[in-house]
Amino acid sequence: MGHVASTAGTETPPSLMENARTEQLLDRRQQLTDGLASLPYDLVLYLERALIHADLAYPDLAAGDAYRALLLTDEVANEEFEYHEQAVEALRMHIGQPISEALAFGDLSNEWIPDMSGDSVHGTEALQDLARLASVRAYQMLALNLLLCGCLQSAATFCERGLAVSPENKDLLGTKAHIDLVARRKLKRDTYEVSDLPDYGLVRREVYPWNTHEQDRYSKEALRALNKDLQSMAPKCAVQVATLPVLLEGASETDGYDIIPTCKQLGVFAQDDIEPGEVVLREYSLMTANNRLKDPVCDACSGDLPSLGGTTEPVGCEECPDTVFCSQFCHDQAQKSYHPAVCDKDVDAIAKDPEASEADETLYLLLLSRALALAAHQEAHPLDVREVRFIWGDFVPTSSNEIDLSPKAGPPPTWTLPFSFKYNIETPLHVLEKMDIDIFATPQYDLWVLNTLYAKFRGTASARKSLLDGRPDVAAVHPYWCLANHDCDPNVTWDWGGRMVLKARETRIVDGRAGGIKRGEEILNHYCDIDLPVQQRREWARGSLGGWCMCQRCRTEAAAEEKAKASNGVSSNGV
């Protein structure tokens, strides 16, 4: 009798099934993205892609698509809006077709759905009703996905707006109840105003699976290009591959270990001895921002403007006199690289003179706006712009951001990219509109692109505080300065005043030993206030770099603190 293989116990493992489902979702996402490239005003396609983003555990991207769909429902409803005709034409294509899964969902089955047969379906009433249905679905998606991102205030706002359109909608009422539950837990009280709710959350910080713009930073071609530019800025240095400690999510017992996990990154290394006090790097960058409306700083480099009557005079733009540059050089660089994209476009007042609590966020937004202007004027993809293309955003592998839905799964992953509806979705779209950019027909400005830029900026931007009130009011990204890796015992110090200047330290922080840098040693920069205690330095690193700093100084100081607590009978959790 011949041998027959048994099929018992050969079911597909859950992990393989989940991987196959993820691949199917990614394929469907690409199909919808291709569809939007040819039908950019089709609000139903945006809703369908929002569903896919939600299923892939990207609630921020789902909210971004839902918001664009919501904007298009407004375009359908108002004949005076810019894209009214395009939005109506795209929506009309869905009349006479089976109702989309994105619309026939949950409690929406009880909403009025246009009759898909008969002569009346091509009328204005049917289109408006379908747009209304889509708006309720967009409100559902926005409220739920912003809640999942931690943006409670925006989630509650869209929930209320949706209920104003559909008061008995069970999905919106359920989301509202969940928002209230989370709000009472976070605020530790039962009564509150919507304005009391937190509106900042965390989302995935990664190179998205469909991102084809991230450079192979370790290739010979990339290193050759980087070092060619670096020579004029830091003639005694070269960019090489460096080995760095892996940033951790939080407290760990590894501080006292001799061997810890490491990863590969780019770094800057001395090719010759550098004396204490000697200039290591001098870099000029146009990736700058200031959040003061009438601050006397150069629009290009954010350096101080020369005083009137001095040896040099400020130079204004002929088309928008309120834009002033510190020199003819900066004026010419701006006109060549970015300024025509925003010239006389009424963008000057956006995110200026913010509340103290939003000073940091406005600077990141304004850096994003500068990147968008550079890309628009140069007709380049924002991630391919010279100032950002080689910057690493402290991304983590996509797999470590995925949520395991199996019954035996552990806690969900901790996402690390700060996110808000206002600064990641709403205001960037407002900036693009002010720049006369079609926010629907330009896929290079999708939310995932903006999130990627934000990740790069948060880990690399330097900031300057106002002497008047101590608020951060000027920021910049210097792509070669930030290639020098962070360490809380740096061997360089830096100063930024129109040009970023790195100098070899005269003495080191730890032990006060002599400064200077030997040939072959890595240039160790610092991105935070290194006079802060170790706990505060690590909390800064978690917010900016995505994890706790694991440099030797931090590990040594943290281990010493733990040892002192243990000797006094105090555990690491304070008990």
Q: Report pLDDT digits (tens) over 147-169.
A: 999 999 999 999 999 999 999 99
φ and ψ at 558, to 5 degrees?
Answer: -65, -40
Closest CA to 504 of 237, 232, 231: 237
Closest CA to 89 of 102, 76, 70, 73: 76
CA distance 112 to 99: 12
CB atoms under 10 Å from CB of 538, counted, come to 25
Partnered with residue 492 across adjacent β-strands are 504
CB atoms under 10 Å from CB of 490, counted, come to 24
| Predicted pLDDT at 262 | 83
Place of tokens 């910080």: 205
Name the residue type at position 4. V
CA distance 226 to 45: 40
CB atoms under 10 Å from CB of 84, counted, come to 17
Q: Give the long-range contacts of residues 30-34, CB within 8 A, separation 24 or more.
A: 30/210, 33/210, 33/443
Q: Give the long-range contacts of residues 159-164, CB within 8 A, separation 24 or more.
A: 160/194, 162/135, 162/136
Place of tokens 């928008």: 320
CA distance 362 to 289: 9
Diameter over CA atoms, the chain: 105
**What tokens were used for 384?**
């391919």
Which residues in 373-426 belong to E strands, given as ranges?
417-419
Residues 6+ apart with CB under 8 A from 320: 343, 344, 348
φ and ψ at 325, to 5 degrees?
Answer: -120, 155
Query: Coil, helix or strand for 164?
Result: helix
Query: Coil, helix or strand for 94?
Result: coil
DSSP string, 119-161: GGGGSHHHHHHHHHHHHHHHHHHHHHHHHHHT-HHHHHHHHHH
Place of tokens 């739920």: 144
SS3 content of the chain, % helix, strand, coil (to 5): 45, 10, 45
| Predicted pLDDT at 185 | 95
| Predicted pLDDT at 318 | 92
**What tokens were used for 478?**
């210097």
Closest CA to 183 of 157, 145, 156: 156
CA distance 213 to 538: 30
CA distance 498 to 297: 9
Contact indicator for 248, 254 with CB cutoff of 8 Å: yes
Q: What is the DSSP letter of 424?
A: I
Q: What is the DSSP letter of 423?
A: I
Closest CA to 15 of 518, 404, 453, 556: 404
φ and ψ at 128, to 5 degrees?
Answer: -65, -40
**What tokens were used for 47?**
């809703």
**What tokens were used for 108?**
């929406």
Contact indicator for 553, 510 with CB cutoff of 8 Å: yes
CA distance 513 to 399: 43
Residues of the chain under the 70 pLDDT cut = 1-17, 105-123, 249-254, 256, 309-310, 569-575
* Cα 60-66-72 angle, rounded to 5 deg: 145
| Predicted pLDDT at 570 | 53
- 351 sits in the region (left: phi over 0; alpha: psi -120 to 50; else beta) called left
Closest CA to 63 of 133, 176, 149, 159: 149
Q: Is beta strand 472-476 parallel, antiparallel or unpaired with respect to 288-290?
A: antiparallel
Contact indicator for 156, 178 with CB cutoff of 8 Å: no
Q: What is the DSSP letter of 458?
A: H
Per residue in 69-125, pLDDT tens? 999 999 999 999 999 999 999 999 988 778 888 887 665 555 545 554 444 445 678
Total count of residues recorded for the chain:
575
Contact indicator for 428, 493 with CB cutoff of 8 Å: no
Residues 6+ apart with CB under 8 A from 455: 205, 393, 394, 395, 417
* Cα 202-205-211 angle, rounded to 5 deg: 135
